[in-house]
Structure 1
Amino acid sequence: MTDEKEKQDLAWKAVGGLVGFATAWAAKKVLSVVWEKTTGKKPPADHDSLDVSLAEAIGYAVVMGVGMQVAQIVMARTARRRYDAWRALKDAARDVVD
């Protein structure tokens, strides 16, 4: 692997990690608000608590799991497309200068 390719891979890992972290944080906030608006209750803070019904705990887990995974997939694919387009543009500009 060339040094340039290794730098690109490292840069993508950094960008991908930041995108993943930001997406998870934002998705959790959005899904919590949607849960509260839909059910009229705050999201269950302690899934093990017997004060939270089993149906509510499972429902919240399903909503959060699916919602966060969908957000991660969409954002990761979008970020990768943008990153690849940026790299291609940067490479093309370098070729013009060379």
Structure 2
Amino acid sequence: MKSVLWKLLAALSAVAAARAADQALNLTWKGVTGNQPPTVPEDPETTWAEALAWAALSGAVIGVARMLFVRQAAAYYVKSTGEMPKALARDLPED
């Protein structure tokens, strides 16, 4: 039952992270460039500089948002169940 709870919590965290990252990306891009973000960076009409900048920015923002949201979900899970989700448990070296 706990693994199902963690999977649900992790999925909800991923959705929340994606929404937050998307909003942050759009606001950041508009603030820095004054333009709308590229809707299809792979489009040959999008400049290489714009496509690469969008890919780097979106990768970083999405990665950080996902990490933050999953950490919060894990903290909530530990507080609720008293143990770390098995999916996040580290393999400690045996002495």
Contact 2:29 2:36 in 1 (8 A): yes
Report SS of the residue matched to 1:43. Answer: coil
Counterpart of 2:85 in structure 1 is none
Distance 2:56 2:37 in 1: 12
Amino acid at match of 2:45: D
* Superposition RMSD in Å: 1.1
* Residue 17 of structure 2 corresponds to residue 23 of structure 1: yes
Amino acid at match of 1:13: K
Counterpart of 2:45 in structure 1 is 51
Report SS of the residue matched to 1:42. Answer: coil
TM-score (norm 1): 0.77
Which of the numbers 3, 10, 15 marks the counterpart of 2:4?
10
Question: Where do residues 82-93 of structure 1 align in structure 2 (5 Å cutoff)?
Answer: 82-88=76-82
Distance 1:50 1:20 in 2: 30
Distance 1:80 1:58 in 2: 33
Report SS of the residue matched to 2:19. Answer: helix
Whose radius of gyration is greater, 1 or 2? 1
Distance 2:42 2:5 in 1: 40
Task: Provide runs of 4+ in structure 1 moved above 3 Å.
Answer: none
**Matched residues, number:** 82
Unaligned regions of 5+ residues in structure 2, if any? Answer: 83-95
Unaligned regions of 5+ residues in structure 1, if any? Answer: 1-6, 89-98
Counterpart of 1:32 in structure 2 is 26
